[in-house]
C-alpha cells in the first residue's frame, strides 16, 4: 500500500494505507450502504442545528444541505460510486460531499463522530424496519381474520400431541395465530418506544464542547428525546437486539403455522390445498404439489434465531464505549428484516389463497372418539352424573 491509499478522512498521521486484508476486514460499505437515506437525513438535521446554533455559517449550511440532497439523488438513481477504500457509508457520503462542495463539507462533521452518527442512522433504520414489519403483520392478521370468518363454522379436529383431541372450528384455530401475531406486534411497539431516543450529540463517547441543541436534532428526526447518557448512546445495541428477539418470536410463530400447512396439505390430511401461486411441482412425480413456501418459512425461523444469537454474542463482554465489534451489528439485522418481511408476505399469500376441504376436516372428526370429552361433560352437566372418583378405595363410577 502506498501513501495514495491513506484514508483522506482519518489518515493524516498515517504514511501508508492499510494492507489489502485490513481494508477488507475493516470496510462495511458493502452492507451499510443500506443506511444511506438515514445517514443523509441525520446529516441534514445535524447541519440545520449547527446553523441554527451559529456553529457554522448559513452559507456553509446551505451548501452542505444542497450537496447532501444531490448525493441522495445520485444514490437513488444508481449513479453514486460506493468505494470500499472509504470504509463505510458515512465516509463515502462525506467524501462525495467534499468533491461536490469543497472544504465546507468538512464542517458537517463538527460536534459529531461516526460513533453517534452510526448509532443514530441505525436506530432510524431499525425504526423504519419495525414500522414496515408491523404493517406486514397487520396484513397477515387481516387475512387470517377473513379466513377465520369464512370458516367460523367449519368443524375440524383440534389436536394435542398431534392426536385428534376435541373438535374445534378452523376459524377458532386460525384465530390462535391472530393472537400470536398481535403479541408480536406488541413486542415491536415496545421495542420501538424504547429505541426512540436520539444518540446525536454523544459524539465519540463524551459529548462535545460545541453549544449544540440535542433536543432540536432529536425532534427533527422524530425521536422522543435525546439519549440521556453519551456513553450508553454510542455503545449499546440493545435496540437492535430487542428488534431481533421480537422478530425471532414472530418467525417462530410463522414456522408453526407453516408446519401446520405442510401437515394439512399432506395426503393423510388433505384438510387444505395451497394455490398454484404458492406451491411447486416435482420434476419426476407429476402428481405432486409441494408446499415449498411453507417449508421455507419453517426453515427461515432458524436464520432469524441465528441472527439474534449472533448479535447477542457479538455484544457480550464488549467494554464501554464504542468498539469496532459493533460494526458487525448490521448484517444480522438487515438479513432478519428482509427474511421476516418475505416470510410474512408469503404466509399472507398462502392463507389468502387457501382452499379449505371442510368434508375432510369433518371426516377426521368422525374417527378416534374425539367427542369423548364433550360426552363426559354432557353426562355430568345435563344428566347430573358424578365424575369418576380417582380414589382407589372409592367405587363410585369406577370402571369395575
Q: Tell the smallest beta-carbon distance from residue 35 to ligand ARG (Å).
A: 9
Give yes or no for residue 116 binding ligand ARG (CB under 6 A). Answer: no
Three-state secondary structure call for residue 225: strand
Closest separation between CB of residue 45 and ligand ARG, Å?
18
Cβ proximity to ligand ARG, 294 vs 326, nearer residue? 326
Is residue 42 involved in binding ligand ARG (CB under 6 A)?
Answer: no
Q: All 3 cell numbers of residue 185?
A: 406486534
The owner of cell 383431541 is: 165
Question: How many angstroms separate the CA atoms of 17 and 6, rounded?
Answer: 4
Q: Candidates 71-79, 112-120, 158-166, 361-369 — which segment interacts with ligand ARG by CB under 6 A?
A: 112-120
- Nearest approach in angstroms of CB 113 to ligand ARG is 7
Residue 331, phi then psi, degrees to nearest 5: -60, -45
Interatomic CA distance for residues 45 and 214, integer angstroms: 10
**Residue 362 CB, nearest approach to ligand ARG (Å):** 57
E strand or H helix that includes residue 216: helix 214-220
Report in angstroms how near the CB of residue 324 gets to ligand ARG at its nearest. 6
Residue 118 sits in the site that holds ligand ARG (CB under 6 A): yes
Work out whether 120 is an interface residue with ligand ARG (CB under 6 A). Answer: no
**DSSP labels, 277-301:** GG-EE-SS-TT-EE-HHHHHHHHHH
77-85, 98-106, 113-121, 277-285 -> range binding ligand ARG (CB under 6 A): 113-121
Please name the residue that has the C-alpha cell 500500500: 1
Considering only 272, 326, 333, 364, the residue that binds ligand ARG (CB under 6 A) is: 326
Query: Residues in contact with ligand ARG, total (CB under 6 A)?
Result: 10
How many Å apart are CA 250 and CA 180, to the nearest integer? 8
**Among 43, 92, 115, 208, which residue sits at the site for ligand ARG (rule: CB under 6 A)?**
115
Separation between Cα atoms, residue 110 and residue 55, nearest integer Å: 8
Min. distance of Cβ 186 from ligand ARG in angstroms?
30
List the one residue from 28, 92, 141, 265 that touches ligand ARG (CB under 6 A).
Answer: 28
Closest CA to 234 of 190, 209, 197: 197
Binding range to ligand ARG, per CB under 6 A, among 165-173, 191-199, 252-260, 323-331: 323-331
Contact set for ligand ARG, span 72-101 (CB under 6 A): 88
> Based on CB atoms, which residue is closest to ligand ARG, 7 or 53?
7
Q: Are strands 197-198 and 225-226 parallel, antiparallel or unpaired?
A: parallel
Asked if 211 contacts 53 with a C-beta cutoff of 8 angstroms, the reply is: yes
Give whichever of 11 and 362 is closer to ligand ARG, judged by the CB atom: 11
The helix/strand/coil state of 354 is coil
Among 34, 36, 44, 114, binds ligand ARG (CB under 6 A): 114
- Nearest C-alpha neighbor of 250 from the set 141, 371, 374: 141
Residues 145, 348: Cα–Cα separation, whole Å: 11
H or E segment to which residue 235 belongs: helix 230-235
Segment lying near ligand ARG (by CB under 6 A), choices 103-111, 145-153, 173-181, 322-330: 322-330
Q: Which residues are catalytic?
A: 161, 282
Residue 339 sits in the site that holds ligand ARG (CB under 6 A): no
Answer yes or no whether residue 322 interacts with ligand ARG by CB under 6 A.
yes
Contact 359, 153 (CB under 8 A): no
Can you give the binding site for ligand ARG, defined by CB under 6 A? 28, 32, 88, 114-115, 118, 322, 324, 326-327
Amino acid at each position: 500500500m502506498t501513501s495514495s491509499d491513506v484514508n483522506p478522512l482519518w489518515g493524516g498521521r498515517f504514511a501508508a494505507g492499510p494492507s489489502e486484508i485490513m481494508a477488507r476486514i475493516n470496510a462495511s460499505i458493502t452492507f451499510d450502504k443500506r443506511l444511506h437515506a438515514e445517514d443523509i437525513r441525520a446529516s441534514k438535521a445535524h447541519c440545520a442545528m449547527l446553523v441554527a446554533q451559529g456553529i457554522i455559517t448559513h452559507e456553509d449550511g446551505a451548501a452542505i444541505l444542497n450537496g447532501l440532497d444531490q448525493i441522495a439523488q445520485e444514490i437513488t438513481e444508481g449513479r453514486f460510486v460506493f468505494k470500499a477504500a472509504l470504509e463505510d457509508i458515512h465516509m463515502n457520503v462525506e467524501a462525495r460531499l467534499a468533491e461536490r462542495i469543497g472544504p465546507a463539507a468538512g464542517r458537517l462533521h463538527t460536534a459529531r463522530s461516526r460513533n453517534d452518527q452510526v448509532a443514530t442512522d441505525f436506530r432510524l433504520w431499525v425504526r423504519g424496519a419495525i414500522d414496515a414489519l408491523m404493517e406486514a403483520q397487520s396484513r397477515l392478521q387481516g387475512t387470517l381474520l377473513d379466513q377465520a370468518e369464512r370458516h367460523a363454522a367449519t368443524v375440524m379436529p383440534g389436536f394435542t400431541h398431534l392426536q385428534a383431541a376435541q373438535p374445534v372450528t378452523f376459524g377458532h384455530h386460525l384465530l390462535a395465530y391472530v393472537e400470536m401475531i398481535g403479541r408480536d406486534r406488541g413486542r415491536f411497539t415496545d421495542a420501538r418506544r424504547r429505541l426512540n431516543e436520539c444518540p446525536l450529540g454523544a459524539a465519540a463517547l463524551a459529548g462535545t464542547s460545541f453549544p449544540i441543541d440535542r433536543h432540536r436534532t432529536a425532534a427533527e428526526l422524530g425521536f422522543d428525546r435525546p439519549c440521556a447518557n453519551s456513553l450508553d448512546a454510542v455503545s449499546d445495541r440493545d435496540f437492535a437486539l430487542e428488534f431481533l428477539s421480537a422478530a425471532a418470536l414472530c418467525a417462530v410463530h410463522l414456522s408453526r403455522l407453516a408446519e401446520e400447512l405442510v401437515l394439512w396439505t399432506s395426503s393423510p390430511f388433505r384438510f387444505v390445498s395451497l394455490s398454484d401461486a404458492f406451491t411447486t411441482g416435482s420434476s419426476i412425480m407429476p402428481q405432486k404439489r409441494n408446499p415449498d413456501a411453507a417449508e421455507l418459512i419453517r426453515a427461515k425461523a432458524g436464520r432469524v434465531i441465528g441472527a439474534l444469537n449472533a448479535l447477542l454474542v457479538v455484544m457480550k463482554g464488549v467494554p464501554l464505549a464504542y468498539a469496532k465489534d459493533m460494526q458487525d451489528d448490521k448484517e444480522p439485522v438487515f438479513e432478519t428484516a428482509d427474511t421476516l418481511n418475505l416470510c410474512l408476505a408469503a404466509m399472507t399469500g398462502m392463507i389468502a389463497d387457501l382452499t379449505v376441504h371442510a368434508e375432510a376436516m369433518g371426516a377426521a372428526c368422525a374417527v378416534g372418539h374425539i367427542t369423548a370429552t364433550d360426552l363426559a361433560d354432557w353426562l355430568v352437566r345435563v344428566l347430573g352424573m358424578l365424575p369418576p372418583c380417582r380414589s382407589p378405595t372409592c367405587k363410585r363410577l369406577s370402571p369395575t
